[in-house]
Structure 1
Amino acid sequence: MTLPRQIPGLDALKGLACVLIVWHHLAFYGPMSDVVHPYAPALMDWLYDYGRMAVQVFLVVSGFLAAASLAPQGVAVFESPGRLILRRYWRLVKPYFVALAVSVLVAALVRPWFAHHSVPGAPTVHQLLAHVLLLQDLLGQDALSAGVWYVAIDFQLYAMAVLIFAFARRFQFQPNHGDATHTTSVSAPLGVSLILLAALASLLFFNRLPAFDITALYFFGSYACGMLAFWASSRLGARRGFWLVTLAVMGGLALALDFRGRLVVALVTAFSLIGLAGLQPHARPVRWLQQRRLVQLGHISYSVFLIHFPVCLLVNAVVGYFWPTQFLANVAGLWVAFMLSLLVGWALYQWVELRPTPFLPRWLSRYYSG
C-alpha cells in the first residue's frame, strides 16, 4: 500500500493552494488591491473570482489523508471514534486559537484609525465561544478572521467520515472466529457505500444550494473525491479500476447536472494524486514537485492559512494610512503582506503546531495522545 507521505506532490499541492488562498484574500480585502486593480484588472479579477477555488485542493487532500488513516482498505481500522474526533479537534484548534487571538488583537489595534469593512468588530463573549466550538457559522456569528470557516468544515468532514465508518462497523462487522479476511470482505461494502451515497447527495443536491455551505454536506463530495483517490492510488488489488470509474462517473454526473468550476478543481486534484502515485521517483513532474521549498511550504500551509489574514490586515492598514493612493507603495505592500504571511506562518508552525501542549488537562492529554 502506498503511504500518503510517499505520494510525491502532496505537500507541494497544499503549498501552492495556500499561496493562491493568500493572494485571493489580498485581492478580496482592500484597500491595497483597490489601488492596484486599475493597473492589473485581469489579474486582480482572476484572483478575486477564482483564487478561492484552491480550497478544493485542501478538501481533496484532507479526504485523501482521512481515507489513509481511517479506512485504508475501505473499512475502519480505529477503535474509538470519540477519541479520534477529539484528537482531530485539538490538532486543528491548537494553532487556530493562537491565530484567532492575533486576529482579534490586530483588529483592535487598527480599528481606531483604519475604517474599512475588512476589519472585524470587537468580539462578544458569545462570538468567542462559538469560534472556540467551531460553530460560528452554524450559530450565525460573524467571523473574526478569514478562513475560520474552513477549520469548522474540516472538523465536520472528518467527524462525518469517522462516524460513517464507525456506524458501518457497528452494524455490519460480524466477527467470524477471528477470521480477518471475512471481516474485511463483509465490512467494506457498507462503509464505502455510505461514503459514496453521502458524496452523491452532496454533489447532486447539497453542493448546489448555497444555504448549505456552512455544513459538511456542501463539501463532502470533494472530500470523498480525495478518499476515492487514496483507494485508487493504493492499488487495492483489482479494485483500483472500480475506484477510478466510480470517481469519473460520480464527477461526470455532478458536472452534467450542474457545471461547477470548483468541482472541476476537485476532480483534477483527485486524478492528479492518482497519477502522481503511479509515477517513478525520477520522473520530471515528481522531481519538480519535490523541491525542498515547495515541500516546506506544504508543511506550513495550515499555519499560513490561519495567520495570513491578521498579517494582511495590518499591512493593509499601514499602507492605506501612509500611502493611500501611491501605486508602487501598494504593490510593495501586497508583496510584503504575502512574504510576512509565510514568515509568521512558519513561526506559528514551528512554535505552536509542532509543539506538544504541556498544559493540557490530564483527561484530555490521555485522549489526545492515546
Structure 2
Amino acid sequence: MAIHANPYAVNTALKSSTESKSSADISRPIFDYSLEALRGLAALLVVFEHSIGNGPTPDPSYHISGFWQYAPPGHLSVMVFFMLSGYVIGLANSKPITTNSGRKLYLKKRIVRLYPLYLLTLAATFSVAVMYHTPAGAGTIIGCLLFLQGLVVKVPAYNNPIWSLGYEILYYVLFLVVSARRWAPGWVAVAFLAFGLILSQLAIQPIILVSYAYGAVFWFLGQFLSRMPKSTNPLQFGTMLAFLLLMLSFQRMNLMFSALHSLQLDVTEAQAPSWFDRAIVFSDFSLLLYCVPLLLCFTNRTMPGRRWMELAAFATPGLYFLSYIYSGKIQQTQLFNTVIISAVFYLLAIAAYLLRHHSTLLGEAIIQKLTPLGHISYGIYIIHFPLFFLFHQVKTFSGTATSFLVRLLLYLVLVIFLGWALERRLQPWLKEKLM
C-alpha cells in the first residue's frame, strides 16, 4: 500500500512585520523540532511499511513469518502528514492571501520546495521501469509531470508513494481560495466530508474524487488546529513519547475503523478495483481519534475536550484487544501473530503515558534524536521506493534471517543518505537559484 509524505520541512512562521510582503504571512521561520521529529518518525514508518510489511522485502528470497510479522502504520502516516501540511500552511499564512503578488509568492515557494526534487524522482522512477522492461508511455510521463497520477494516468508502479503528491498540489490551490474568502477551515473540512459522502453514495465518477475530498478533511482540520490557542503549560515530552509509541500500534489495533466500516459507507473494491481510486475511505476518519490529540500535543495547543481526546486515543487499541480476546481471534495463531508486536508497542505506550511526568528527559532526548530525520523526510519519501526495486534486483546473499537483516540495514542507510543528499545538499542550492 502506498502512503503519503508531506513535501514540507516543518517550519512555523512569525507574522509578517510589513504589509509590503503581500497579504501572506511571510517572515523568518522558527524551527519547531517537535514537529520535525514527528515527521521524521512518520517518514521512517513509510519506508518500513514498504520494506517489512506485506509484500516483497529487501531480501527477494526471504519473507517474515511467525510473531515477527508487523505492519508499520503507513496509512496512518499519510493522515498525519496531511494534517501537518494543513497546519504548517495555515500557521505560515495566517493572514488572508488576497493579492496577486501574494498568490504568486505562495505558489512559487510551494513549487520550488516540491518540484525540482520531484523531477529527479520521476527520472529515477522511469529509469527503473526501463530496467524492469516496462517503460512508461509518453502519456504517463506527461501526466506525472502535471501531478495527475491516479486522477488521469496510472500511478507509476516503481514509485507508488507519489500518488499523494497530486493531493497536496490540489490542497495548496484550494487553500488560496479558502484564504482569500476567509472561510473557516473547520467548516471547510465539514463541507468536504459532506461532499465526499454525496459523491460516494451517488457513485459519481471518477470515484477517486471521494478520496480527494476525504483527504481534504484531514488537511483543513490541520489548518483549523493552527488557529487553536497555545497552552500556557510547557511542552509535555513524556506525553509526546507516549504518542510516538502509540503510533506504532494504533493503525493495527484501531477498533473504530471496524465500527465505521460496518456502516458500509466506504468506496468498495467492486466500485474501484485500483487501490489508488479508494486510497482514503470513510473508515479512515477513525484515525482522527489519534491524529487530532497527537497534533495538539506536539504543537502544544489546546481546545475543549483535549484531555478526553487523549484518553480516547489511548483507550481505542485496548478496546480492540479486548474484542480480540472476546471474539476468540486470539486463539487463531496465524492471525494473532500479526498483532503481537503492535500489542507490545501499545503496552509501552500506556506505560509511557502513565509515567509521562517521569519520562520528560527521555522523551525530549528521543524527540531530538528523531529531528534529523524530519529534516530529510521529503527526500526519503520520494526516493525510497525506486531504490527498493533496485535493491531487490540484487539476488546474492539472500534467503536467511541474517541476510534479511543485513540487507534491510544497508537499504535504510542508503535511503537516509540519499534523502540527506537531496534535502541538505541539493535542495538548498536549488532554493538559492530559484527563489
Per the normalisation by structure 2, the TM-score is: 0.60
- Paired position in structure 1 for 2:386: 310
Q: Is the alpha carbon distance of 1:19 and 1:214 closer, same or farther for their aligned partners in structure 2, counting shifts above 3 Å?
A: farther
Displacement of 1:207 in angstroms is 8.2
CA distance in 2, matches of 1:9, 1:68: 15
Aligned-residue CA RMSD (Å)? 3.6
- Paired position in structure 2 for 1:245: none
Residues 222-261 of structure 1 correspond to what in structure 2 (within 5 A)?
A: 222-234=218-230
CA distance in 2, matches of 1:133, 1:214: 20
- Paired position in structure 1 for 2:409: 335
CA distance in 2, matches of 1:213, 1:36: 38
- Paired position in structure 2 for 1:90: 112
Instruction: Please tell me whether residue 140 in structure 1 is matched to residue 163 in structure 2.
Output: no
Instruction: Please tell me whether residue 43 in structure 1 is matched to residue 69 in structure 2.
Output: yes
CA distance in 2, matches of 1:90, 1:191: 28
Structure 2 spans left out of the alignment, 5+ residues = 1-11, 15-28, 232-255, 263-281, 302-356
Structure 1 spans left out of the alignment, 5+ residues = 113-120, 170-189, 236-252, 360-364
2:136 to 112, 123, 130: 123
Q: Is the alpha carbon distance of 1:345 and 1:268 closer, same or farther for their aligned partners in structure 2, counting shifts above 3 Å?
A: same
What number of residue pairs does the alignment pair up?
Answer: 305
Q: Is the alpha carbon distance of 1:266 and 1:89 closer, same or farther for their aligned partners in structure 2, counting shifts above 3 Å?
A: farther
Alpha-carbon contact 1:206-1:217 (below 8 Å) kept: no
Instruction: Please tell me whether residue 200 in structure 1 is matched to residue 226 in structure 2.
Output: no
Q: Which amino acid aligns with 2:46?
A: I
CA distance in 1, matches of 2:62, 2:40: 25
Q: Which moved more, 1:349-358 or 1:298-307?
A: 349-358
1:131-186 Cα distance to aligned partner (Å, 9 max, x none): 111012211334151211111111111111122222x15xxxxxxxxxxxxxxxxx
Displacement of 1:223 in angstroms is 0.8
1:301 to 377, 382, 398: 377
2:215 to 207, 215, 219: 219
Residues 265-280 of structure 1 correspond to what in structure 2 (within 5 A)?
A: 265-278=287-300
What secondary structure sits across from 2:228 in the alignment?
Answer: helix
Alpha-carbon contact 1:95-1:348 (below 8 Å) kept: yes
Q: Which amino acid aligns with 1:198?
A: A
Q: Which amino acid aligns with 2:146?
A: L
Q: Which amino acid aligns with 1:154?
A: E
- Paired position in structure 2 for 1:22: 47
Identical-pair percentage: 21
Q: Which moved more, 1:78-87 or 1:347-356?
A: 78-87
CA distance in 2, matches of 1:157, 1:337: 32
CA distance in 1, matches of 2:374, 2:145: 25
Q: Which amino acid aligns with 2:225?
A: A
Alpha-carbon contact 2:36-2:375 (below 8 Å) kept: yes
1:314-362 Cα distance to aligned partner (Å, 9 max, x none): 11111xx224533422332222212211111111112322223577xxx
What secondary structure sits across from 1:356 in the alignment?
Answer: helix
Per the normalisation by structure 1, the TM-score is: 0.70
- Paired position in structure 2 for 1:58: 81
- Paired position in structure 1 for 2:172: 158
